[in-house]
Structure 1
Amino acid sequence: MSYPNTDEIFQLISKLVSIPSPSGNTNDVITFVESYLKELKVETKRNRKGGLIAMIGGQDDTKHRMLTAHVDTLGAIVKEIKPSGRLKLDLIGGFKYNSIEGEYCEIETASGKKYTGTILMHQTSVHVYKDAGKAERNQDNMEVRLDEVVKNAEDVRALGIEVGDFVSFDPRVEITPSGFIKSRHLDDKASVAILLELIKQIKTEKIELPYTTHFLISNNEEIGYGGNSNITPETVEYLAVDMGAIGDGQSTDEYTVSICVKDASGPYHYGLRKRLVQLAVENQIDYKLDIYPFYGSDASAAIRSGHDIVHGLVGPGIDSSHAFERTHKSSINHTAKLLYHYVQSEMIE
């Protein structure tokens, strides 16, 4: 028995996180995934929201499965061009300003021009501002310093930069000799890479799935509604593949697959959760059950939108979620193994 290749997944993660894709501006990364699947001769289509749906036929076409992971990421948008020539930001997604202080970023104009900059406190210089360390990290105090000769708002607008332009963060991706990958946006591009490698294995090894299976690469998860549509009436089981949250009181770690019991939306389907645990035990897959208290997924979005489905959530454990994220090869490996067995398993009764 072979499993999805973890080294190839790591290389794919590196490529994905290097493509800017804050929620609302995801066409480039969707095009990358679309091209990847086209080479595998996998049938795909885009929905009107810009997400991508792949489909692989199964032995039973009367009952379907859907697996989803999202390529949209945290980011920002230009809220204001200050008289100083610096940019005020409005955040995209649920994170805090302190997590992007000092980060390199890229501003993309409506015409497609791209400029670089750095996200800083207005009161950064300790030689000038007595409260440099104590001032609150918030929208009023943080700004983008452009890497262009700009002395006022008119200079900035002359570059083509305007309110509404998207701002993406430098991922700073790195694979370490000890088996870690650290980068921004492992949420959820690590899971996207796992699904793409799984699809590749299904196609290249001609694995016959028991049920017609859809793979949704969603592009609005970080703002709450990436996976709430395009679910076929035949879909019975809907599994979101997204990061497991690590912190005090959590059982999730960077070395196992996390199976979510409950998040802010409520409990996930008990029967599907038990089936996932059963598959892990039967196939020597290391797993942890966990609750994510401040979390929602594409599966919970699908439930909220009224779909009559069985929903679940699994994923690799990601440290420092929505900041400088990291996970280990073993967590990617166990997640990939669980999904490999899941798509070939019988549905719950």
Structure 2
Amino acid sequence: MNEIDFILEQLKGLTAIDSPTGFTEYAAEHVMNVYKKMGYAPVQTAKGGIFIDLGGKNEEDAILLTAHMDTLGAMVHTVKSNGRLKLTPLGGLNPNNTEGENCRIYTRSGRIYDGTFQLIDASIHVNGEYNDTKRSFDTMEVVLDEDVYNKEGVEALGIRTGDIVCFDPRTRITDSGYIKSRFLDDKLSVAILMGYANYLQEQDIVPERRIYQHISVFEEVGHGCSYLPAPVSEVLAVDMGCVGEGLNCTERQVSICAKDSHGPYHYATVSALVAAAEEQGIDFAIDIYPHYGSDADAALDAGYDIRHALIGAGVYASHGYERSHIEGVRNTFELLKAYLD
């Protein structure tokens, strides 16, 4: 299996596991097992992230690569009197692009139920206000695929406030190379980091710098990489690159972020990434993300004295049904190799 095929297989394995922020135990177990099979000794942090030492010669200039396995999702806010569920979002889940999506409700007793997230009174032949109703968590609800019609019936199933609601990823890789799925942010980058770790093992490479990886959790709520388990001088967040009007990046490129909503990234590190991309002929774009924060930002906010940067494969329709491309994956992977090797 070549490097890109390995990454795509890891992506499909990851997106098949529900892991909204705060509910990442199953994904963490999967990630731990993948790294162990590669020959590494991953360690789980107290709040559930995975820390891996990839080795390297120079420990005084160690670098941490971080990507997050937590995704968007929801939680049961209220069991309604009619047997439907009102939700509250986990992270930046947007009701406008989750309407009509299938979902799963995980109860604390271990039972899992299916449902669909719909507008209240979702039949357009009945609801004359269907087109004019603003989609929000107050105007939408989960319709359970169970014969329940009141609050008591739902509670008898074991469903209650605080239960986790996960949405179908609908992962698909087209013949033309496009990768479509919910939660490419940031499971695509986790897969790329897995691919880089596998590359080092298979090629028996000992990097010049000590390299650590942190597969974080709670990034979607702002504190994924707020703790660094080892002394590092640089944090490189590998997260989705933004694609949209006013930006340069496409899904086929690797994006190098110069500035996000938290401020500029470290100028010398960004410049070094650009130089590495140019030297190796990697297809890249430099962009500024207007509404974005990364794990590298979280490390700075936590008070760490580090250089920080952000790269990632271009992803369109962020926080919705997202789309990237195999060439974007390849360019991101090649930039990691060029910068770190």
> Normalised by the shorter chain, which TM-score bucket?
over 0.9
Aligned: 1:238 with 2:235? yes
AA paired with 2:85? L
The correspondence for 1:312, drawn from 309, 312, 319, is 309
Measured against aligned partners, the alpha-carbon deviations of 1:328-347 in whole angstroms (never above 9, x if no partner) come to 11000000000112222xxx
AA paired with 1:127? H
SS at match of 2:311: strand
Who is 2:291 aligned against?
A: 294
d(CA) in 2 for partners of 1:275, 1:159 = 56
SS at match of 1:203: helix
AA paired with 1:180? Y
SS at match of 1:21: coil
AA paired with 1:295? Y
SS at match of 1:259: strand
Contact 2:70–2:217 (CA under 8 A) maintained in structure 1: yes
Measured against aligned partners, the alpha-carbon deviations of 1:25-77 in whole angstroms (never above 9, x if no partner) come to 00100110100001111121111110000002211122211000000000000
Who is 2:40 aligned against?
A: 42
The correspondence for 1:121, drawn from 116, 119, 122, is 119
CA deviation after TM superposition for structure 1 residue 231, in Å: 4.3
| Larger deviation, residues 304-313 vs 10-19 | 10-19
d(CA) in 1 for partners of 2:60, 2:288 = 33
Who is 2:335 aligned against?
A: 338
Aligned: 1:216 with 2:214? yes
d(CA) in 1 for partners of 2:10, 2:55 = 25
d(CA) in 1 for partners of 2:209, 2:185 = 28
CA deviation after TM superposition for structure 1 residue 95, in Å: 3.3
d(CA) in 2 for partners of 1:217, 1:296 = 16
Who is 2:62 aligned against?
A: 64
Who is 1:27 aligned against?
A: 25
CA deviation after TM superposition for structure 1 residue 248, in Å: 1.0
Who is 1:347 aligned against?
A: none
AA paired with 2:138? D
Contact 2:254–2:311 (CA under 8 A) maintained in structure 1: yes
d(CA) in 1 for partners of 2:121, 2:135 = 10
For the structure 1 residues 95 and 250, does the alpha-carbon distance in structure 2 shift closer, same or farther, using more than 3 Å as the test?
farther
d(CA) in 1 for partners of 2:34, 2:6 = 13
Provide the TM-score with structure 1 as the length reference: 0.96
Who is 2:282 aligned against?
A: 285
Who is 2:244 aligned against?
A: 247
Measured against aligned partners, the alpha-carbon deviations of 1:257-311 in whole angstroms (never above 9, x if no partner) come to 0000000000000000000001001111000000110000000011111100000
How many pairs align? 341
Measured against aligned partners, the alpha-carbon deviations of 1:70-118 in whole angstroms (never above 9, x if no partner) come to 0000000000000110000000111321110000001000111111100
d(CA) in 1 for partners of 2:227, 2:200 = 25
The correspondence for 2:91, drawn from 87, 93, 111, is 93
SS at match of 1:277: helix
d(CA) in 1 for partners of 2:145, 2:2 = 42
Who is 1:266 aligned against?
A: 263
SS at match of 1:43: coil
Contact 2:51–2:229 (CA under 8 A) maintained in structure 1: no
Contact 2:219–2:294 (CA under 8 A) maintained in structure 1: yes
Measured against aligned partners, the alpha-carbon deviations of 1:110-145 in whole angstroms (never above 9, x if no partner) come to 111111100000031112211111101011110000
SS at match of 1:275: helix
AA paired with 2:308? H
Who is 2:80 aligned against?
A: 82
Query: Percent identity, aligned pairs only?
Result: 44
AA paired with 2:98? I
For the structure 1 residues 4 and 61, does the alpha-carbon distance in structure 2 shift closer, same or farther, using more than 3 Å as the test?
farther
Q: CA RMSD in A?
A: 1.1
Who is 2:189 aligned against?
A: 191
d(CA) in 1 for partners of 2:170, 2:137 = 23
Who is 2:71 aligned against?
A: 73
AA paired with 1:274? S
AA paired with 1:91? P
Q: Would you identify which runs of 4 or more consecutive aligned residues in structure 1 move more than 3 Å?
A: none
d(CA) in 1 for partners of 2:2, 2:292 = 28
d(CA) in 2 for partners of 1:17, 1:128 = 36
